[in-house]
Amino acid sequence: MCGIFGFSGFRDSELLHRMAWRLRHRGPDGEGFLEQGEFSFGNRRLAIIDLDTGDQPIFNEDRTLAIVQNGEIYNYVELRKQLKERGHRFATHTDTEVVLHGFEEWGEDVVHHLEGMFAFAIHDLRSGETLLARDPCGQKPLFYWSGQGSFLFASAIKALLECESVPRRARLDALDAWLCLRYVPEPATMFEDIHTLPAGHLLRLHPGGGFEIERYWSVTLSDGSAYRSDDDYLEELQATFDQAMARTMRSDVPVASYLSAGVDSSLIAKVARDLNTELHTWSIGFHSNIDETRDAAETAARIGSQHHEIYLEPQDFALLPRVIWQMDVPVGDAIILAFDRLAAACAQDFKVVLSGEGADEMFAGYPFHKILPLAHRYSRLMPGLLHEALVMPLLRAAPVGLLDRVFPFPAYLGKQGKRRVVDFLGGYRDRSLRQNYVWLKTLWGEEDRRNLYSADMRHRASTDWIPADGEPRGHFLDRLLAMQYDAWMQDWAIIRQERNTMAHSLELRLPFLDKQLIELAFRMPPHLKARGNRDKIVERRLAERLLPPEVVRRAKVPFYLPMDYFVANPEIQKLIDLTLNPTQVAARGYFDPKYVRRLVDDMHTRDFLVQKQVMSLVILELWHMIHIDQSLTPTP
């Protein structure tokens, strides 16, 4: 719902309206502004709740406070009742006005009362102070730039760039982090001097342009002293999930749901169907052997939803520049194209869609949630001398096919993948948990990056960007899961969906990111999440109550783009020729043109990692051409 924007420290009505125009895709249903001295802010609205009287900014009773908000407060009905009992008078039926009166009642602590996804700005017209806040998981974006006594904020970076004072420069000290993760961990972005307000943080903006940022929410790890029975947690999970779903479904417009063949989206679709007399579900496929479309259609038939299938076609790769334009920041995986096509199809008939992001992060559903705990136990039990003298030589000699069976991977590891696995295990003991987490997940290992960089960039790229682990506390698996709420969740899992749905004026809702549900998951003992080769144990027990056995037992199929099926397509070759030709690579100056050419030549092998590496470089260069150089202008 919506896009927000504003600035402090100067006056410029034309800039305010240009920022609004840049955010029109996030809110096609209307716009509103407030200009007071050297502070201005505004909103572009996507009408979901209170279609008739919900225009923003919204003021309190005596017009001393004003708010603009992006998102949805799912418990606004309960909060509205509570605030009315305390004497607050409402002029609308919106969730945004509930936040404003909540701020009157509780001050900054209002953020602790909110269940939902949000980024908002509340301006005090008397003092000139402004409070900005972002939801605990970063479901809604909020970027800012400060300098020269000015401060600007917006839901999208392209709105900030409407201001001539905001430079269009790539942040070179973030390049190494981007290659490792294919995103830049917050609060930095790939734009120099443009930051994101981190998830679960608030920002106090003062009239003179100064500001401070404070964290108000983080995952709390259990010390294990108050664990209850497994059955107690299952009952609490069902009640909390049902409550989260009921709140998430609140809308004055129809709600659809994405549906893969996995347990997460199947649970959401089943409960949504039970709450609604009619539900439309949507799936995407690739015409490949990894497609889940057949299984998804079977699940849809069993729960009684009206199901729709679309497929990513080779010619769709011509749309990749436009998708990168709408993402603002580079996310180095061509799967963003699939998210865009899925959102475009659903948005033809709906304004709101549900999706299952967040369950894997709570209940340990990814392969690395199994591999890292196994490596941790191995490192504690295996003597170092035996590890070096016996185990490592055996690993180096093992065929790739064997390692493919031992280490869950979306596709054939290839030689690069095998080397990555061997390097990971060989150096595990010498790295921190966070370093091992990055090492295992990275697309570009340390040696890969060293070979990729140009001679100049090899000396300039900052490699000291992985933060320290902090004080070790809690169970190993819980510490691993908690790390994802500092960056991975908002900078990788959510952003790929949120930017592409909002590009089509479609609001994404994620029931598994209910704050009470997350906090419950971290109160549970780790054996209810993952144990041995089993994952999402307690979630699957819940699913057994609601879904057919074959749905519950399905192994997680990673959602990735099968480049084998697209690599020879002319549209991809055009993009590669445009972005990774030796002249362009040399002119950019980041990478060795000869090394990049070898990677491109190797794309036609079955090496899964090489194909993903090449596409990540294509995306990075397209991002530069579109957002920094402005030499390529995709059609919105």
Q: Which residues form the catalytic set? A: 2
- How many angstroms separate the first and last alpha carbons of the chain? 20
Q: What are phi and psi of 408, to 5 degrees?
A: -60, 130
Q: Quick one: CA torsion of 369, 373, 374, 379, rounded to 10 degrees? A: 150
Burial-class residue 307 by CB neighbours within 10 Å (0-12, 13-18, 19+).
Answer: buried
Strand 255-258 relative to strand 352-354, pairing: parallel
- Nearest CA-CA partner of 211 in 15, 462, 6, 50: 6
3-state SS assignment for residue 255:
strand
Closest CA to 478 of 523, 435, 510, 437: 523
Residues 6+ apart with CB under 8 A from 17: 33
The DSSP H or E segment spanning 542 is: helix 537-546
- Phi, psi torsion values for 531, nearest 5 degrees: -155, 120
Dihedrals phi, psi of 201, to nearest 5 degrees: -125, 155
Q: Report the distance separating Cα 288 and Cα 277, nearest Å.
A: 33
Residue 149: count other Cβ atoms within 10 Å of its Cβ: 12
Contacts (Cβ under 8 Å, ≥6 apart) of 165: 147, 148, 150
Q: Write out the two tokens for 116.
A: 């939902």
User: Encoding tokens for residue 213?
Assistant: 């940022």
Joined together, the tokens standing for residue 344 give 């475009």
* C-alpha dist (Å) from residue 482 to 233, 364, 443, 486, 522: 19, 11, 22, 8, 9
**Whether the Cβ atoms of residue 69 and residue 48 lie closer than 8 Å to each other:** no
User: What's phi and psi for 36, nearest 5 deg?
Assistant: -140, 105
CA 374/CA 275 separation, integer angstroms: 40
Nearest CA-CA partner of 551 in 261, 332, 288, 311: 261
Crossing angle for the helix pair 608-623 and 414-426, to the nearest 10 degrees: 90
Residue with tokens 């919105």: 636
